[in-house]
């Protein structure tokens, strides 16, 4: 464990001056000037791309009112590691709770539609398409989602939510027979924005 004096902390923070923070692509109001105090303040966070943080450092819901509606597509995936016996039981539809992958697919679709209720700063969106597909790996199942919408903001959170809840549903349906399941590698694969 290492400790630093307050003077060391001050000197290490001085490298983050207002000048070094300036992002030439920043869309911030030019009338707003960065504070030259060396702290990661709200303005710095906004300039670094944190659109859900205002210049005071408080959380905010992004205003997308001035954006035009565009085609939005996002794909995400994740995996769940299962033992070989559990995999065979799923394939043979022998899990007592029922058809695991069908229930997981419905759960993922339902979850995508509830994303704005789960993630506080997400916008409520009209989703044109939500789909989930599953494939077997050598030691588990991979889930992949696709979400489409025509709107003013992206649908990556909906795609990620669909995958997460689908995997959680597999976990729930199989937990009686498999105590060592691991969900992992949940990530965004693609995000598309195009004019319509």
> Which residue range forms the structural domain that includes residue 26?
9-47
Sequence-separated (6 or more) residues with CB below 8 Å from residue 171: 80, 181, 183
28-37, 84-93, 101-110: lowest mean pLDDT where? 28-37
pLDDT tens per residue, range 140-189: 999 999 999 999 999 999 999 999 999 999 999 999 999 999 999 999 99
Evaluate whether residue 63 is within a structural domain. Answer: no
Evaluate whether residue 27 is within a structural domain. Answer: yes
Contact 78, 143 (CB under 8 A): yes
Evaluate whether residue 177 is within a structural domain. Answer: yes
The catalytic residue among 29, 36, 39, 172 is 172
Distance of alpha carbon 124 from alpha carbon 127, whole angstroms: 9
Domains contained in the chain, number? 2
- Phi, psi dihedral angles at 32 (to 5 degrees): -90, 120
Q: Is the same domain home to 105 and 184? A: yes
Please state whether 185 falls in left (phi above 0), alpha (psi between -120 and 50) or beta.
Answer: left
User: What residues pair up with 46 in beta bridges, in sequence order?
Assistant: none
Evaluate whether residue 52 is within a structural domain. Answer: no
Evaluate whether residue 1 is within a structural domain. Answer: no
Catalogue the E-assigned strands of the chain. 70-81, 127-137, 140-151, 182-194
Q: Is the same domain home to 82 and 145? A: yes
Write down how long the chain is. Answer: 196
User: What residues pair up with 127 in beta bridges, in sequence order?
Assistant: 149
Q: Is the same domain home to 87 and 25? A: no
Q: Is the same domain home to 118 and 74? A: yes
Q: Is the same domain home to 126 and 163? A: yes
pLDDT tens per residue, range 5-57: 444 444 444 333 333 333 344 444 444 443 333 344 444 444 556 677 777 77
Distance of alpha carbon 35 from alpha carbon 56, whole angstroms: 11
Sequence-separated (6 or more) residues with CB below 8 Å from residue 9: none
Q: What angle do CA 143, 172, 167 make, to 5 degrees?
A: 15
66 is catalytic: no
CB contact burial 131-144 (16+ within 10 A = b; e otherwise): ebebeeeeebbbbb
Evaluate whether residue 98 is within a structural domain. Answer: yes
Q: Is the same domain home to 32 and 75? A: no
In this model, does residue 123 exceed pLDDT 90? yes
């Amino acid at each position: 464990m290492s400790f630093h004096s307050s003077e060391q902390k001050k000197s290490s923070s001085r490298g983050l001056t207002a000048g070094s923070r300036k992002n030439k692509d920043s869309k911030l109001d030019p009338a707003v000037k960065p504070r030259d105090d060396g702290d990661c303040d709200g303005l710095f966070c906004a300039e670094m791309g944190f659109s859900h943080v205002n210049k005071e450092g408080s959380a905010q819901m992004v205003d997308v009112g001035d954006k035009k509606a565009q085609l939005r597509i996002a794909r995400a995936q994740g995996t769940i590691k299962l033992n070989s016996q559990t995999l065979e039981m799923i394939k043979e539809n022998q899990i007592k709770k029922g058809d695991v992958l069908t229930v997981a697919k419905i759960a993922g679709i339902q979850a995508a539609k509830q994303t704005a209720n789960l993630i506080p700063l997400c916008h409520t969106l009209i989703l044109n398409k939500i789909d989930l597909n599953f494939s077997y790996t050598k030691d588990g199942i991979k889930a992949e989602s696709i979400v489409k919408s025509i709107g003013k903001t992206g649908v990556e959170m909906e795609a990620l939510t669909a995958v997460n809840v689908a995997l959680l549903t597999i976990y729930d349906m199989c937990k009686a027979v498999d105590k060592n399941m691991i969900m992992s590698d949940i990530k965004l694969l693609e995000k598309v924005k195009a004019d319509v």
